[in-house]
Amino acid sequence: MKTHTLLMPLDMHLHLRDGIMLENIAPLSAYSFSGALVMPNLVPPVTTKQNIIAYKKRILASVANDYFEVYMTLFYQNYSKEFLEDVEDEILAVKLYPAGITTNSKEGVKSFDIEAMRPTLEAMSELNIPLCVHGESHGFVMDRETEFMSIYEQLAENFPNLKIIMEHITTKEAVQMLERYENLYATITLHHLLLTLDDVVGGKMQPHLFCKPIAKRPQDREALLQVALNAHPKVMFGSDSAPHPQHEKESSGCAAGIFTAPIAIQMLCELFDKFDALENLQDFISDNAQRIYGICPEFKEVRLSNTPFTIPKIYNTVVPMYANETIGWSIDDIS
Ligand code: DOR
Ligand code: ZN
């Protein structure tokens, strides 16, 4: 039997929702992760200090039994420096969505007018608040991320002291950008390391593998695997685990989002083991994020082994990726 231990695993891109959904799913992340960067795309989005504090309180209440560091984000709009100074202690980053690009993003940025955004982004640079970006244009679905590269260039060049995190990257073009600008970083999901568009729509359409940005070509997945398996120092794990109730996925007009939070650590172990790269998983799942964000979560140790684990068919109302399939690694215990 093979075993592997991970210390303080972090999920640097997580959707926890609110209300009953929050109560049902937050404990699943809190069980195995040390902490997570929580996305602000609620309805309405998280845009005030009061909302940040209240939402964090509700999250902590829903994970009462587990130690779990909750890193909050603010939904990007143009803000004054005074406002950002007032909220900086409550957040780890600001999350930018192009308006209408994905679930609950309609209050996002309508046009990338750099001059209009300058005061906010300069204030964030001065206060050292990272900018997390959902990088997609409104173009043809397979080209959306690549088309967004020119916006990343403008942001990186105009704000050289701003840490910019390209969230859930899916293309080889995004991977190449990491080398071009010192201030660009990236998160990568589990599902984009496993899937291509073929898995989503190549056979019967798979609603539980449908997300934004959509999985791309084999050569894109290959580029993502290269940097993840080698734990490129500018790359971090962010699951983008995005729960939707079963009836909103298995319907005409399927909601975008793949639910991976409870299976991500086990599947990453399986994947890194398959490529003989288990020794790099610690950097990918925790140490890179600690260094990039300057965070230091409390101690948590997750012990795994290559014992088969059958993924549940459903967690409350949410169907996980690979439901009812058996994977090669499972969590033995956590302390
Ligand atoms: O597939 C996605 N689902 N992509 C996102 O960017 C948002 C997320 C959600 O909130 O459901
Ligand atoms: Zn997301």
pLDDT tens, residue by residue, 132-166: 999 999 999 999 999 999 999 999 999 999 999 99
3 domain residue, yes or no: no
Contacts of 135 (CB under 8 A, 6+ apart): 145, 148, 149, 151, 152, 166, 167, 169, 174
Cβ–Cβ under 8 Å, residues 238 and 99:
no
Atom of ligand 1 nearest to the CA of 15: 10
247 domain residue, yes or no: yes
CA-CA-CA-CA torsion sign (212, 40, 334, 292): positive
Give the type of residue at 247: H
Which residue range(s) make up the domain with 253? Answer: 13-263
Q: Which ligand has the nearest atom to the CA of 103?
A: 1
Active-site residue flag, 240: yes
Contacts of 294 (CB under 8 A, 6+ apart): none
Cβ–Cβ under 8 Å, residues 98 and 138:
yes
Mutate to test the pocket of ligand 1, among 11, 18, 41 (most ligand atoms within 8 A of CB): 41
Q: How confident is the model at residue 44 (pLDDT cuts 50, 70, 90)?
A: very high
Average pLDDT along the chain = 97
pLDDT attached to residue 149: 98
100 domain residue, yes or no: yes
171 domain residue, yes or no: yes
193 domain residue, yes or no: yes
Find, among 291, 301, 333, 326, the residue nearest to 312 by Cα. Answer: 326
Count the neighbouring beta carbons within 10 Å of the beta carbon of residue 209: 19
pLDDT attached to residue 65: 74
pLDDT attached to residue 29: 97
Q: How confident is the model at residue 77 (pLDDT cuts 50, 70, 90)?
A: very high
Kindly tell me if the per-residue pLDDT of 101 is higher than 90. yes
The C-alpha atoms of residue 113 and residue 110 are separated, in whole angstroms, by: 9
Contacts of 51 (CB under 8 A, 6+ apart): none
Mutate to test the pocket of ligand 1, among 240, 248, 254 (most ligand atoms within 8 A of CB): 240
Kindly tell me if the per-residue pLDDT of 249 is higher than 80. yes
Question: For ligand 1, atom 2, which residue shows the shortest CA distance?
Answer: 257
Given the residues 220, 240, 283, 287, the one annotated as active site: 240
Q: What is the DSSP letter of 218?
A: H
Query: pTM above 0.95?
Result: yes
212 lines ligand 1 (CB under 6 A): yes
Which two tokens mark 114?
């750099």
CATH of the domain at 170: 3.20.20.140
Question: For ligand 1, atom 3, which residue shows the shortest CA distance?
Answer: 257
The C-alpha atoms of residue 146 and residue 239 are separated, in whole angstroms, by: 21
User: What is the average per-residue pLDDT within 173-196?
Assistant: 98
Greatest Cα pair distance in the chain: 58
The C-alpha atoms of residue 268 and residue 85 are separated, in whole angstroms, by: 37
pLDDT attached to residue 66: 79
Distance 211 CA to ligand 1 centre (A): 6
Distance 121 CA to ligand 2 centre (A): 21
pLDDT attached to residue 169: 99
232 domain residue, yes or no: yes
Q: What is the pLDDT of residues 17-34, one digit of tens each?
A: 999 999 999 999 999 999
What are 183's strand-pairing partners? none
Low-confidence winner among 65-74, 119-128, 234-243 (lowest mean pLDDT): 65-74
Please state, in angstroms and as integers, the Cα–Cα distance from residue 14 to each residue in 58, 70, 142, 189, 273, following that order: 15, 10, 23, 10, 24
Omega cis (within 30) before 27: no
Which two tokens mark 142?
């397979």
Q: Which residues of 313-325 are buried (b: 16+ CB within 10 A; e: fewer)?
A: eebebbbbbbbee
Q: Which ligand has the nearest atom to the CA of 41?
A: 1
Q: What is the DSSP letter of 298?
A: P
Cβ–Cβ under 8 Å, residues 249 and 225:
no
278 domain residue, yes or no: no
287 domain residue, yes or no: no
User: What is the average per-residue pLDDT within 287-315?
Assistant: 97
Instruction: Please tell me the total count of domains within the chain.
Output: 1
